[in-house]
A and B are shown apart, each in its own frame.
Chain A
């Protein structure tokens, strides 16, 4: 792999790391593109072209993944708290988005998660991450 490509992927990796560490923060286009000094006029297209998913969907999926873990594995937080954590002001907007992604309501998922649907819904995340992973292994 050329140095240019390696550097480009390292910058994209920096963006993914930043998103992961700032799920509670404001992940708007200006902020996210600025992390690795990409022009905001191109970043949304560069991200989609690299990862096969829009930056908007990627962030939503990562937040939903965390929310689903909080629902299934911890009882400490209410669904409302989890919705707030995922960046939703209202629990019903969160419930709608959650159902759209995972085919279950948040409370339904908490009671008996359908892991197969869940896994399928998060497919784009795994695929996105593997785009950079592929380039860091040398067969």
Chain B
């Protein structure tokens, strides 16, 4: 667990709204878009912004943003993504190595143990993650992700 001051990062955002069961299809579209736009994970950072709970009361309320860090302008007429930003500021950062499929335990640790005891105050931007290496390009136990809890 570290506290990091992160710079603002411009991103292209593909929003997933609705049933988590269809997230896989959105991820496929996101990967295809990154290939076509020539903004792959090797050169451009990959973020996931969790706007709702992992399992909201109604699946229709599930909201997640898939983000590709780039300062290139988004091509006009591109219906799939929009330009946005991961705002800069202080964050509690928890590194997860292995089994990065499910980052919920890391998020739960930050909210259940760390935040209440820290005296810190969460900032007005959702908890998000950055994927630093990907399965199956690396073995599952070597996949790395950071979970960011924005702080005031």
Contact = CB atoms under 8 A, between A and B. Distances in A.
Contact of A2 (B107, B117, B125, B126): B117
Contacts of A3: 119
A1 to B, nearest CB: 9
Main secondary structure of the interface of A (DSSP, over half): helix
Interface in A88-107: none
Nearest to B58: A56
Contacts of A42: 111, 122, 126-127, 149
Interface residues of B, number: 22
B115 interface: yes
Contacts of B119: 2-4, 7
A41 B149 CA distance: 11
Given A45-B127, A46-B111, A4 B116 contact: yes
B124 interface: yes
A49 B111 contact: yes
Contacts of A56: 57
Nearest to A4: B119
Interface residues of A, number: 21
Contact of B53 (A5, A41, A54): A54
A39 to B, nearest CB: 5
15 contacts: A2-B117, A4-B118, A5-B117, A8-B117, A9-B116, A39-B121, A41-B124, A41-B126, A42-B122, A42-B126, A42-B127, A50-B116, A54-B53, A54-B56, A57-B57
